[in-house]
Chains A and B, each alone.
Chain A
């Protein structure tokens, strides 16, 4: 199956700083990538959909200027949490959806962000 990696797996940062999370599709070209966040004991909430070479589409209630998404290539998408605050602490998971595997999404291992 597809392999999706995320880096870092966990990060602790101070309030007010920015953090970049990388998502890589390792064995196929991902035309579409999704970013989710998950609070403890809760389901996944879709934050945004990014398509290679175009602007991301953000879900209602997600601040696009705070959560910057870049999908510069078919194998890499990045999520930057700008001016992080403690309430941004969460588990962030990326997912890839490639035209070659038209029915399934493959998920990364997640990134645990803690803002102090």
Chain B
């Protein structure tokens, strides 16, 4: 079985400050890891993914995430937050040895204040 945990329901950051949204995962095999963002009443937009290779992954809108195998984490980061980054963020995992199913974390609401 695979699972994802996002321990924070909400993260509050001041505009211009760095942000981190935490994610840990559990899979039997090797993971494919993803971050998605969701704006109100919209579907999910892909931000970035880790498949293999460099542990630091850069994605859309200045976001990046670091794959840490020993800590089974894939935290989302951005050096300088924007008010427009305020949204709901989902971490997701797929076990590359166990089919196509994507499992989502519970989501973290990011609030960036001016």
Which residues of B (34-50) have their CB < 8 Å from a CB of A? 34, 36, 41-46, 49
Q: Is B100 on the interface with A (CB-CB < 8 A)?
A: yes
A contact face: mostly helix, strand, loop, or mixed: strand
Closest Cβ of chain A: how far from B44's Cβ, in Å? 4
Name the residue on A nearest B60 (C-beta): A1
Residues in A neighbouring B44, C-beta threshold 8 A: 44, 93, 95, 107
Q: Given A49-B100, A103-B32, are A44 and B46 neighbors across the interface (CB < 8 Å)?
A: no
Closest Cβ of chain A: how far from B86's Cβ, in Å? 15
Residues in B neighbouring A67, C-beta threshold 8 A: none
A42: contacting residue among B36, B51, B100, B106, CB under 8 A: B106
**Which range holds the interface residue count of chain B?**
10 to 19
**Which range holds the interface residue count of chain A?**
20 to 34
A44 touches B90 (CB 8 A): yes
What CA separation (Å) do A34 and B51 show in the bound complex?
21
Contact with B along A92-112 (1 / 0, CB 8 A): 010101000001111111101
Q: Is B104 on the interface with A (CB-CB < 8 A)?
A: yes
Contact with B along A72-116 (1 / 0, CB 8 A): 000000000000000000010101010000011111111010000
Q: Name 23 A/B residue pairs within 8 A (Cβ), A-sorted.
A: A1-B46, A4-B43, A6-B43, A42-B106, A42-B107, A43-B105, A43-B107, A44-B44, A44-B90, A44-B104, A46-B102, A93-B43, A93-B44, A103-B32, A104-B46, A104-B49, A105-B102, A107-B36, A107-B45, A109-B42, A109-B43, A110-B41, A110-B42
> Shortest 9 CB-CB distances between A and B: which pairs?
A107-B44, A107-B43, A109-B43, A110-B43, A43-B106, A43-B104, A43-B107, A44-B104, A108-B43
A contact set with B: CB distance below 8 Å: 1, 4, 6, 32, 34, 41-44, 46, 49, 91, 93, 95, 97, 103-110, 112
